Structure 1
């Protein structure tokens, strides 16, 4: 092999063909300490269509501002669609590496750092994403009057300041202002949201604000209960507020993200949709020094993907929502048009613009009344009418058209998931949400979140996230104090979310879940809650008391509802001063409870 060095690039030549070249941005006038957005956009445009390029940034702090960024309309699932300014528009790239050289990419205002679209074999590595001013403000309580429900808070950051106008607090950003709206109160002692968090949640209306100093504001009736001294209220405006996700992957094949840190984001740290094969290694979402909150929404989120999602050695903490969420989408059937053609509608407003299916995809018709599958077909044609509605033609129809409200889910675009040696902690909501019919392995992870640990749901009610799982193994993980938001969280909670008018069908919604060899430390003695699950194994888990939060004994340790073929065996509970029990209802059948220590099985049929 011969190596040739040229100006601005490194060529590697083997057997007479060019395999790759490295482009050093410094040779194109891109240097730290200034706004490089236009030059980066321009360089990427020049590289478009060339395979095997590594774009290399010498270590430094590079600034990206929206004024000279290219602008494209983007429909981003679970976010707010809009015209978006983009720092790294990776559209149609192949065999491309973005190597940040351990640099910090610093962004200003509503700009989207990295978008990978219609690309193949992309690697993002060795950089961090941060904002000059994050998309939230942190209000630290310095005075408190519980009797009058009033507190004084220091506001940070103050670069763009705040003002009080007509008794309302307006928080300054790069180019806009937010009213006081959505928020999470964090406990500085634990670094996590408060125990019974909602006590201190900000109200959306009725707060009276007064300016009482250069960076201080007095708020009256802003919360249900005046927060404790030292509390940090992380606050931002109401919707639309998910306008600038940190990394967006769309319609791409084989994407790797390695040694990348996200310190902030006006939405999710990473959102991926209709992608095949994604590998995250040492991907970190965390708060910057001096801040409490990291990304405002999920750390990572995957909708309608396939192949393998492999997540390893990752740290996901301090975000405003879940650690990882993997699922499909239910779309509503508006009308059957005849000739095997359906008029369909995207179900949730923040999924509008979603590519639900393409010809060749296998889809399943599902009842919205009892969330049961009805019929499988293959898509032969689609026609997008607008962001909300599309026409879909399938190859076969049932002999009798089903009665009642209907949905479709896409069976082709469900991924396998491997998550190993990761940490998810100190965030609002859950550690892991899994709703995929692929094979799932969660192993050797450490989880501690405000709500449930692993939530296996399926939702034809609110976010319309499908679907029922078929093969999930949760083995050798550590779960610590799940449920400190309201005291009721479980390490594993598996149940479909239903509207009051929806009912369960004759068969179970979730199948084949194994929860084994996990270590749980908590205050409530909870282990597993399962509803409409078939073939559930709960074995060799240890649950030990932890006194960080007040003890709670209101719910059973193992709660079963309309389950079939369940084995609860060789689990142990230690240190709890209240009864630890198992409860079975809803016609649960095939239940075996054997050799558990500290678990009161009462009169259950063993």
Structure 2
């Protein structure tokens, strides 16, 4: 029997090897550990894959360097891996280091299917972020100590400019990190030091720089400051109009915007693919913006076993677009802005009323025409197969129904070692957030639906937040009633649609927060606006003393215009003394609270709940 099994195993292995054709990057001139540019080698190797299927581009383990085609300050972006119209191709790194230089994008995956990147790390020798230790902060100057070799700069006319490989920048968007645990310094947000780095500077002894003036706050000695020198330059991995993409066992130490951006793509999986601080180099930062961001995708966005640290924005954001109707052209056509690009012919499109924010009739896109107006602005003419809704007007919205993705996020760690929030998700498809550990600076989970600023759609219909641990989240949440601070509660559900009465139709539906553990130092558990079917059940709430309470929201729950709310069967620590549920645009009978929960329901009084 063992002999037969061995034969079957060998046969299966032989078939697998023959199913994948392996090509070596070294056959195209790439030399590991040589520090020579391999961009052309990669280009030639990928060209050889054109028209082929089931190919593996193999990188023998080593260091491989990617250099931009221009190093003279040009805004042109060089792409390391440029994949177009390829199918079933695997990039196998074998534990290699991919080192990028200057203004570069890691990968473009356009109009592809079945692409896998696996088993490598990515970094920049000179990242677009610098860091320094604060030596002293006073009312008249700020002293910092910086490694000039790692983070080179020049001083001209008493002002500092940071330099890199083919770039120079005076931009210094800053965040502060605790010297001991390397987490975001509590109760600090963006630009914590103000514009101090644009002020007069002088070099002093032992690598110390003195900036004259008073910084916005005076942080403790030893605090570490990160200084980003760009914002949204170019993404790391851009997945565009592609299907079945897998990023597996990848460590991304740096990228010049989002680590991963998916647009109009179907089925994207990130498995143990993390944006991570390169601690071996003494850093406290990783990438410039979001770890991952997905706009108008479909199928399933699956994120498992990822731990992102040091990035300049949220852990993940999944959403569509609320596209403003600028002009009704005729009975079947409208004009929209440039974000009309997030549509394809044949898509199902919801029409949304601006006042109610409710999805209405569905239209089918028949034609999409780019337009340029007399004022120079650009947009799209969208034509539908059937007449537009009779009550549609300028200022209303359209939302793409076809390009809406579900999200499965499991076994991840969402930590304080990056700015802002944890998970942002607005999609009509199913959302499962399960078995994760949250230890965030801002809100752990933010569910919005935006019709007044970012215009990120859309209303959620089925969200399950289960079996997670939330520990001491919200150390840089909303302290001052300011929407630009990083969230009101551990779970914040704040669409921009505002209820006007207890009968206003809810925006979101069916959000379940069940079987989680909340370890909290402050009051806010949930803030929710305009939800029908909000369940907070079978959770455990444990009071900690890790930090001092400070938040703007003083109640456990702050609810606005919600319907069918159930709060029951939760185990609540006696030391968690906040038992208030504050409501507005609601009636008390729209909430069911278990008798043993000891919560008191009251109406909002003397609180400005709609923030700036």
| Residue aligned with 1:254, SS | strand
**Alignment partner, residue 366 of structure 1:** 352
Deviation per CA, 1:405-440, whole angstroms, max 9, x where unpaired?
111110111111111111111221111001000011
Deviation per CA, 1:483-512, whole angstroms, max 9, x where unpaired?
211455422111202599x99993111001
**Alignment partner, residue 381 of structure 1:** 367
Q: Report the CA distance between 1:596 and its aligned residue.
A: 4.5
| Residue aligned with 1:196, SS | coil
- 2:421 corresponds, among 430, 435, 450, to 430
**Alignment partner, residue 458 of structure 2:** 467
Alpha-carbon spacing, 1:396–1:85, altered in 2? closer, same or farther (3 Å) = same
Separation in structure 2 between the aligned mates of residue 590 and residue 504 of structure 1, nearest angstrom: 9
| Residue aligned with 2:532, SS | strand
What is the total number of aligned residue pairs between the two structures?
A: 570
- 1:141 corresponds, among 134, 139, 142, to 134
Alpha-carbon spacing, 1:408–1:504, altered in 2? closer, same or farther (3 Å) = farther
What runs of 5+ residues in structure 2 fail to find an aligned partner? 1-12, 480-487, 605-612
Range moving further from structure 2, 130-139 or 195-204: 195-204
Q: Report the CA distance between 1:474 and its aligned residue.
A: 0.3
Q: Is the 8 A contact 2:331 2:388 kept in 1?
A: no
| Residue aligned with 2:321, SS | coil
Q: Report the CA distance between 1:55 and its aligned residue.
A: 0.3
- 2:542 corresponds, among 537, 544, 553, to 544
**Alignment partner, residue 100 of structure 2:** 107
**Alignment partner, residue 246 of structure 1:** 236
Q: Is the 8 A contact 1:372 1:505 kept in 2?
A: no
Q: Is the 8 A contact 2:584 2:603 kept in 1?
A: no
Q: What is the 5 A alignment of 1:345-494?
A: 345-346=337-338, 355-385=341-371, 388-398=378-388, 400-403=390-393, 405-426=395-416, 427-486=418-477, 489-494=488-493
What runs of 5+ residues in structure 1 fail to find an aligned partner? 1-11, 74-81, 347-351
Q: Is the 8 A contact 2:543 2:576 kept in 1?
A: no
Alpha-carbon spacing, 1:399–1:432, altered in 2? closer, same or farther (3 Å) = closer
Alpha-carbon spacing, 1:47–1:406, altered in 2? closer, same or farther (3 Å) = same
Separation in structure 1 between the aligned mates of residue 214 and residue 90 of structure 2, nearest angstrom: 48
| Residue aligned with 2:115, SS | strand
**Alignment partner, residue 126 of structure 1:** 119
- 1:227 corresponds, among 212, 216, 219, to 219
Q: Is the 8 A contact 1:525 1:573 kept in 2?
A: no
**Alignment partner, residue 183 of structure 1:** 174
Alpha-carbon spacing, 1:597–1:181, altered in 2? closer, same or farther (3 Å) = same
**Alignment partner, residue 569 of structure 1:** 568
Q: Is the 8 A contact 2:293 2:317 kept in 1?
A: yes
Separation in structure 2 between the aligned mates of residue 317 and residue 120 of structure 1, nearest angstrom: 29
Q: Is the 8 A contact 1:418 1:440 kept in 2?
A: yes
**Alignment partner, residue 161 of structure 1:** 152
Question: Do structure 1's residue 292 and structure 2's residue 292 form an aligned pair?
Answer: no
Q: What is the 5 A alignment of 1:73-84?
A: 83-84=76-77
**Alignment partner, residue 587 of structure 1:** 586
Q: Report the CA distance between 1:89 and its aligned residue.
A: 0.3
Alpha-carbon spacing, 1:211–1:94, altered in 2? closer, same or farther (3 Å) = same
| Residue aligned with 2:43, SS | helix
Separation in structure 2 between the aligned mates of residue 110 and residue 437 of structure 1, nearest angstrom: 36
Separation in structure 1 between the aligned mates of residue 537 and residue 498 of structure 2, nearest angstrom: 32
**Alignment partner, residue 50 of structure 1:** 52
Q: Report the CA distance between 1:222 and its aligned residue.
A: 5.8
Range moving further from structure 2, 216-225 or 259-268: 216-225
Q: Report the CA distance between 1:18 and its aligned residue.
A: 6.6
Q: Report the CA distance between 1:583 and its aligned residue.
A: 1.2
- 1:96 corresponds, among 89, 110, 117, to 89
Deviation per CA, 1:215-246, whole angstroms, max 9, x where unpaired?
331123362122221111111236xx311321
Separation in structure 1 between the aligned mates of residue 173 and residue 498 of structure 2, nearest angstrom: 25
| Residue aligned with 2:51, SS | coil
Separation in structure 2 between the aligned mates of residue 153 and residue 20 of structure 1, nearest angstrom: 54
Alpha-carbon spacing, 1:222–1:65, altered in 2? closer, same or farther (3 Å) = farther
Deviation per CA, 1:31-51, whole angstroms, max 9, x where unpaired?
222221222222222322221
Deviation per CA, 1:281-306, whole angstroms, max 9, x where unpaired?
11111110210011111111111000
Alpha-carbon spacing, 1:510–1:172, altered in 2? closer, same or farther (3 Å) = same
Separation in structure 1 between the aligned mates of residue 265 and residue 600 of structure 2, nearest angstrom: 46
Q: What is the 5 A alignment of 1:170-209?
A: 170-198=161-189, 201-204=192-195, 207-209=199-201
Q: Is the 8 A contact 1:169 1:180 kept in 2?
A: no
Q: Report the CA distance between 1:528 and its aligned residue.
A: 1.2
Alpha-carbon spacing, 1:53–1:157, altered in 2? closer, same or farther (3 Å) = farther
Q: Report the CA distance between 1:600 and its aligned residue.
A: 3.9
Separation in structure 2 between the aligned mates of residue 287 and residue 503 of structure 1, nearest angstrom: 47
**Alignment partner, residue 7 of structure 2:** none
Q: Is the 8 A contact 1:571 1:595 kept in 2?
A: no
Q: Report the CA distance between 1:373 and its aligned residue.
A: 2.6
Task: Kindly indicate which of the two structures has a greater share of residues assigned to helix.
Answer: 2
Q: Is the 8 A contact 2:411 2:435 kept in 1?
A: yes
Alpha-carbon spacing, 1:183–1:413, altered in 2? closer, same or farther (3 Å) = same
Alpha-carbon spacing, 1:199–1:442, altered in 2? closer, same or farther (3 Å) = closer
Q: Is the 8 A contact 2:405 2:427 kept in 1?
A: yes
Q: Is the 8 A contact 1:207 1:222 kept in 2?
A: no
Separation in structure 2 between the aligned mates of residue 597 and residue 408 of structure 1, nearest angstrom: 42
Separation in structure 1 between the aligned mates of residue 69 and residue 207 of structure 2, nearest angstrom: 28
| Residue aligned with 2:41, SS | helix
Q: Is the 8 A contact 1:163 1:211 kept in 2?
A: no
Task: Note the aligned Cα RMSD (angstroms).
Answer: 2.7
Range moving further from structure 2, 100-109 or 446-455: 446-455
**Alignment partner, residue 65 of structure 1:** 67
| Residue aligned with 2:46, SS | helix
Deviation per CA, 1:191-210, whole angstroms, max 9, x where unpaired?
21111104971324763322
Alpha-carbon spacing, 1:110–1:227, altered in 2? closer, same or farther (3 Å) = same
Task: Kindly indicate which of the two structures has a greater share of residues assigned to strand.
Answer: 1
Alpha-carbon spacing, 1:135–1:498, altered in 2? closer, same or farther (3 Å) = farther
| Residue aligned with 2:566, SS | strand
TM-score by length of 2: 0.87
